[in-house]
């Protein structure tokens, strides 16, 4: 095999899902010869980047330090829309409601104050007047963020991959990566069809990250999550009638949803629950009655005009770190390699910035963005 044969790339991206598609696009924009490999044909519904919508919001209750990345995320998604003419983002606004001593509403308020973000704050009685399509307990409080909404996730993945290829990058789908070796100053990636070589490696394997790189990553665990769609009997839950996205923190669980579109009904899911699973491809794909019952209990209490006639459901995976923050870092190899994983159920909105950072990490060895708090060294190593 010659040193620079046709299977040689500057950079190989392992996984072409939510983050891998954005990394490939970023490589393509910089004119780098790159290949992304995926065992399925993204966008697909077997990983973590499907189910029609992904929330994007700026007043981030999870941690104020995400805000600079969010500002850039909005800009990059909007730029992609302008560059491609695709409609990727719907600005529906977002209503976040919950117990006053909880995590969500106090977190939103704190982040909004720290970063001078515009939000509206409401008591339960004010909420009932402003957003009458939901029910509220008298002690709940709420915040509304106008500049929030959702990304059409499959369309985003598809657009990024198509653009990357139009700009000269390569994509190998339905090809499973079996082994990755660092040898003679190169990366060798063996799949079930071929062997590729590259100078640099980007790892975006989502729920499968530990299967190939378990010994190089902090411990991760997988949560199987279900998304449900239910009909409603009022137009007040539709995008056309300006129904916002919603996120409710109850005493013991968090639920979220997106307004109704076409015949798909209202999308609703529990954020807090989920069954721990080992292998995303070896799970029971039947509807999980426990999660369904909890979601229907939430609808009954909070969404008075949703019916319980399930239209559809999807299964998806949260790849969790122990502190629920992402891993964005170089990997401990001699050759350049970088990873994004452990997005813990809230990472899609950042995909384009994550893609940029991955390319910075393999080409320059660092990124100038403030992401020290996402380095893997903060987490206890695998024992
Ligand atoms: C139910 C649910 C709701 C969510 N809601 C939100 C939200 O509202 N907002 C938000 O910002 N985020 C949200 N997230 C999180 C976000 O969607 C995910 O973190 C993100 O999409 C994951 O992208 P990824 O690239 O890491 O994984 P994936 O998109 O799953 O990509 C990994 C890819 O690697 C490929 N792969 C793995 N192993 C191999 C192999 N051996 N060979 C070849 N290919 C391989 C897979 O086929 C897959 O395509 C949600 C997640 C879920 C599950």
Q: Which residue's CA is minimally distant from atom 23 of ligand 1?
A: 18
Give per-residue pLDDT as tens, 197-213. 999 999 999 999 999 99
**pLDDT-based confidence at 1, cuts 50/70/90?**
very low
Spacing, Cα 224 to ligand 1 middle (Å): 12
- Does residue 142 fall inside a structural domain? yes
**Residue range 163-174: mean pLDDT, rounded:** 98
Tokens of 177: 């990566």
- Tens digit of each residue's pLDDT (9 = 90 or more) over 224-254: 999 999 999 999 999 999 999 999 999 989 9
> Is residue 5 scored above 90 in pLDDT?
no
The pLDDT tens digits for 285-331 are 999 999 999 999 999 999 999 999 999 999 999 999 999 999 999 99
The DSSP bridge pattern shows strands 327-330 and 254-258 to be unpaired
> 359 is written with which tokens?
């390319």
315 and 344 part of one domain: no
Q: Is the peptide bond between 267 and the residue preceding it cis, with omega within 30 degrees of 0?
A: no
45 domain residue, yes or no: yes
Same domain, 138 and 236: yes
CB 342 less than 6 A from any atom of ligand 1? no
What local confidence, expressed as pLDDT, does residue 4 receive? 54
The domain boundary, picked from 279, 299, 320, lies at 320
Asked if residue 296 and residue 164 are part of one domain, the reply reads no
pLDDT band, very low/low/confident/very high, at 83 (cuts 50, 70, 90): very high
- The alpha carbon of 305 and the centre of ligand 1 are apart by a number of angstroms equal to 32
55 in a domain, yes or no? Answer: no
Both 21 and 111 in one domain: the answer is: no
Domain count, the chain: 2
Distance 4 CA to ligand 1 centre (A): 32
Measured from the CA of 346, which atom of ligand 1 is nearest?
12
Are residues 225 and 309 part of one domain?
Answer: yes
Which of 285, 300, 320 represents a domain boundary (last residue)?
320
Say whether both 161 and 274 belong to one domain. no
Task: List pLDDT tens digits, range 129-150.
Answer: 999 999 999 999 999 999 999 9
Q: How far is the CA of 193 from the centre of ligand 1 (A)?
A: 23
Our answer on whether the CB atom of 205 is closer than 6 Å to any ligand 1 atom is yes
Are the C-beta atoms of 145 and 57 separated by less than 8 Å?
A: yes
Residue 115's domain comprises 94-146+221-320
Q: What is the mean pLDDT of residues 321-349?
A: 98
Q: Where residue 380 falls among pLDDT bands split at 50, 70, 90?
A: confident
For the cut 50, the answer to whether the pLDDT of residue 357 exceeds it is yes
How far is it, in rounded angstroms, from Cα 217 to Cα 133?
A: 44
Q: Kindly state whether residue 79 falls inside one of the protein's structural domains.
A: no
What is the CA(304)–ligand 1 centre distance, in A? 32
> Is 56 among the domain residues?
no
pLDDT level of residue 170 (50, 70, 90 thresholds): very high
Alpha carbon 300 to its chain's center: 28
Q: Are 67 and 125 in contact (CB under 8 A)?
A: no
Q: How far apart are CA 48 and CA 54, in angstroms?
A: 11
Q: Is the CB of 70 under 6 A from ligand 1?
A: no
Mean pLDDT of the chain: 96
259 and 298 inside one domain: yes
338 in the same domain as 212: yes
Whole-number Å distance between alpha carbons of 321 and 2: 41
Decide if pLDDT at 2 tops 50: no
Please give the share of the chain, as a percent, with pLDDT higher than 90.
Answer: 96
Instruction: For residue 47, report the distance from its CA to the centre of ligand 1, in Å.
Output: 5
Q: Which amino acid residue places its CA nearest to atom 41 of ligand 1? A: 177
Q: Do residues 228 and 131 share a domain?
A: yes
Task: State which of 57, 205, 210, 222 you would mutate to test the pocket of ligand 1, scoring each by most atoms of that ligand within 8 A of its C-beta.
Answer: 205
Determine the atom of ligand 1 nearest the C-alpha atom of 40: 47
For the domain that residue 361 is a member of, what is the CATH number?
A: 3.50.50.60
Could you tell me which residues come within 8 angstroms of residue 364 by beta carbon, excluding any fewer than 6 positions away?
A: none
- Is 245 found in the same domain as 138? yes
Query: Is the distance from the beta carbon of residue 19 to the nearest atom of ligand 1 less than 6 Å?
Result: yes
Query: In this structure, is residue 15 part of a structural domain?
Result: yes
Q: What's 316's domain CATH number?
A: 3.30.9.10
- Given this model, what pLDDT does residue 312 score? 97
Where does the pLDDT of residue 381 fall: very low under 50, low under 70, confident under 90, or very high at 90 and above?
A: confident
Q: How far apart are CA 16 and CA 34, in angstroms?
A: 12
Ligand 1 centre distance from Cα of residue 20 (Å): 9
CB of 305 closer than 8 Å to CB of 237? yes
**How much is the pLDDT for 3?**
47
84 is a domain residue = no
Mean pLDDT of 250-268: 94
For residue 262, tell me if it sits in a domain: yes
Query: Both 288 and 301 in a single domain?
Result: yes
- Residue ending a domain, choose from 270, 291, 320: 320
Do 121 and 234 reside in the same domain of the chain?
A: yes
């Amino acid at each position: 095999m010659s040193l620079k044969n046709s299977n040689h790339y500057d950079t190989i991206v392992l996984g072409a899902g939510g983050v891998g598609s954005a990394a490939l696009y970023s490589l393509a924009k910089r004119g780098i010869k790159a290949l992304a490999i995926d065992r399925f044909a993204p966008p697909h519904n077997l990983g973590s980047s499907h189910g029609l919508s992904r929330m994007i919001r700026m007043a981030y209750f999870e941690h104020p330090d995400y805000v600079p990345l969010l500002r850039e995320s909005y800009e990059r998604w909007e730029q992609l829309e302008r560059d491609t003419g695709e409609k990727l983002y719907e600005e529906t606004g977002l209503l976040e409601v919950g117990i006053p001593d909880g995590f969500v509403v106090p977190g939103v308020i704190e982040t909004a104050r720290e970063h001078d973000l515009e939000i509206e704050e409401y008591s339960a009685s004010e909420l009932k007047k402003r957003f009458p399509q939901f029910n509220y307990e008298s002690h709940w409080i709420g915040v509304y963020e106008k500049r929030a909404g959702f990304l059409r996730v499959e369309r985003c993945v598809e657009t990024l991959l198509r653009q990357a290829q139009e700009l000269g990058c390569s994509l190998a789908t339905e090809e499973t990566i079996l082994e990755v070796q660092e040898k003679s100053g190169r990366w060798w990636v063996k799949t079930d069809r071929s062997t590729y070589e590259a100078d640099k490696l980007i790892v975006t394997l989502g729920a499968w990250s530990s299967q190939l790189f378990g010994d190089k990553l902090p411990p991760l665990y997988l949560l199987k999550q279900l998304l449900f769609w239910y009909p409603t009997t009022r137009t007040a839950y539709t995008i056309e009638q300006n129904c916002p996205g919603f996120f409710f923190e109850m005493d013991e669980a968090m639920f979220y949803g997106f307004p109704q579109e076409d015949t798909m009904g209202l999308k609703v899911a529990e954020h807090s629950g989920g069954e721990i699973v080992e292998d995303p491809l070896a799970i029971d794909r039947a509807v999980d009655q426990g999660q369904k019952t909890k979601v229907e209990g939430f609808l009954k209490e909070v969404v008075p005009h949703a019916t319980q006639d399930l239209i559809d459901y999807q299964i998806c995976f949260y790849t969790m770190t122990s502190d629920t923050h992402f891993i964005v870092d170089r990997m401990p190899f001699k050759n350049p390699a970088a990873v994004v994983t452990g997005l813990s159920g809230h990472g899609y909105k950042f995909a384009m910035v994550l893609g940029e950072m991955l390319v910075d990490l393999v080409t320059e060895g660092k990124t100038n963005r403030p992401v020290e708090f996402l380095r893997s060294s903060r987490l206890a190593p695998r024992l």
